[in-house]
Amino acid sequence: MNTKLMPTVLITGATSGFGLATAKKFAQHGYPLIITGRRKERLQKLSDQLSPITDVFFYQLDVRDSEAIKTFTQAIPDNFKQVSILVNNAGLALGTESADKASLDDWHTMIDTNVTGLVNVTHSLLPILRKQASASIINLASIAANWSYPGSHVYGASKAFVAQFSRNLRSDFAGTGVRVTSLEPGLSESEFSLVRFKGDKEKYQQIYNNADALQPEDIANIIFWIAEQPAHININSIEVMPTSQAWDNFKIIKH
Ligand code: NDP
Ligand code: 8X3
């Protein structure tokens, strides 16, 4: 197929959940893809699956490693160099204990991945994105960026960084071809909670059981819709929840 005129989409964390569904969505519409993540065998499998319908370049990448990201950016083959859509999706939450019981290592891992990792990738890709007539950066924040809940501490704070970083990038690039969106989903069914509960399948299943949670394909559709808007439209932010979820009442602890 002739993909010359299609902008390349770069997705971080394409081995699971939102990233995987987003890769499939853009592939169905013929966009050339760069898919990244730490689990190489999953990248290989996805690449094999999508290569019959679009051009795919996969690269094993840990977003926390700024040197590896520089090497990666230089390794992008010429026919994928016109990256116009960056989906900064790689991220994770670890633990739901209250702050005093949380692990400092977990806090560092969330900050290193959700904050430093996203910044690493963005900084490395900006020179390419700025060269495009029109480009989109779609950052995965969360409802946890906007609303607090017990056990969210560093996770929610890391996503608040993503939301504010997105607004600040908007300020820098207003009037240029670069658009920026903060996407802020609520409860969504993916490996996210399996990672958060450190492999505890029972807790993982309890979260999603009978919850009618958002599905990765729902988020992929929204990401695709954002990217497909005409160049003069910037979707600044979208907060999206399953119908089954709403803001909690402000609780009062009576003595
Ligand atoms: P998944 O756990 O299913 O997917 C997370 C992806 O991030 C995986 O592909 C994983 O790949 C990748 N990833 C994690 N750490 C790293 C790293 N250090 N370097 C590179 N890639 C990494 O979760 P979701 O799809 O649900 O989550 C995607 C994003 O959406 C995250 O940023 C999450 O915080 C956010 N989000 C999720 C919500 C939910 O309820 N599910 C709601 C709101 C936001 P690999 O392990 O192969 O590296
Ligand atoms: C994930 C959504 O509500 O688990 O970002 O924090 S929530």
Closest Cα to atom 5 of ligand 2: 142
pLDDT band at 205 (very low <50, low <70, confident <90, very high): very high
Is pTM beyond 0.95 here?
A: yes
pLDDT of residue 250: 85
Do the domain assignments include residue 214? yes
Do the domain assignments include residue 1? no
pLDDT band at 7 (very low <50, low <70, confident <90, very high): very high
Report whether pLDDT(206) > 90.
yes
pLDDT band at 248 (very low <50, low <70, confident <90, very high): confident
> What is the whole-number distance in angstroms between the Cα of residue 91 and the centre of ligand 1?
4
Residue 190 CB contacts under 8 Å (≥ 6 apart), including other chains: 16, 17, 18, 216
Do the domain assignments include residue 252? no
User: What SS3 string covers the chain?
Assistant: CCCCCCCEEEECCCCCHHHHHHHHHHHHCCCCEEEEECCHHHHHHHHHHHCCCCCEEEEECCCCCHHHHHHHHHHCCHHHCCEEEEEECCCCCCCCCCHHHCCHHHHHHHHHHHHHHHHHHHHHHHHHHHHCCCEEEEEECCHHHCCCCCCCHHHHHHHHHHHHHHHHHHHHHCCCCEEEEEEEECCECCCHHHHHCCCCHHHHHHHHCCCCCECHHHHHHHHHHHHCCCCCCCCCEEEECCCCCCCCCCCCCCC
Averaged over 223-235, what is the pLDDT?
A: 98
The model's pLDDT over 25-81, given as tens digits with 9 standing for 90+, comes to 999 999 999 999 999 999 999 999 999 999 999 999 999 999 999 999 999 999 999
What is the number of the ligand closest to the CA of 188?
Answer: 1
pLDDT of residue 1: 47
Do the domain assignments include residue 248? no
Contact in structure between 158 and 177 (CB atoms under 8 Å): no
Which residues belong to the active site?
155
Number of domains in the chain: 1
Do the domain assignments include residue 222? yes
| Closest ligand 1 atom to 187 CA | 40
Closest Cα to atom 39 of ligand 1: 188
Distances in whole angstroms, Cα of residue 73 to Cα of each of 47, 69, 128, 243: 19, 6, 9, 39
> What is the whole-number distance in angstroms between the Cα of residue 150 and the centre of ligand 2?
11
Do the domain assignments include residue 196? yes
Do the domain assignments include residue 251? no
| Closest ligand 1 atom to 91 CA | 32
Averaged over 143-154, what is the pLDDT?
A: 97
Rg (CA), the chain: 18
Do the domain assignments include residue 249? no
Domain residues for the domain of 49 are: 8-240
Q: What is the CATH number for 182?
A: 3.40.50.720
Report whether pLDDT(177) > 80.
yes
The model's pLDDT over 185-197, given as tens digits with 9 standing for 90+, comes to 999 999 999 999 9
What is the number of the ligand closest to the CA of 223?
Answer: 1
pLDDT band at 3 (very low <50, low <70, confident <90, very high): very low
Does residue 143 line the site of ligand 2, with CB under 6 A?
yes
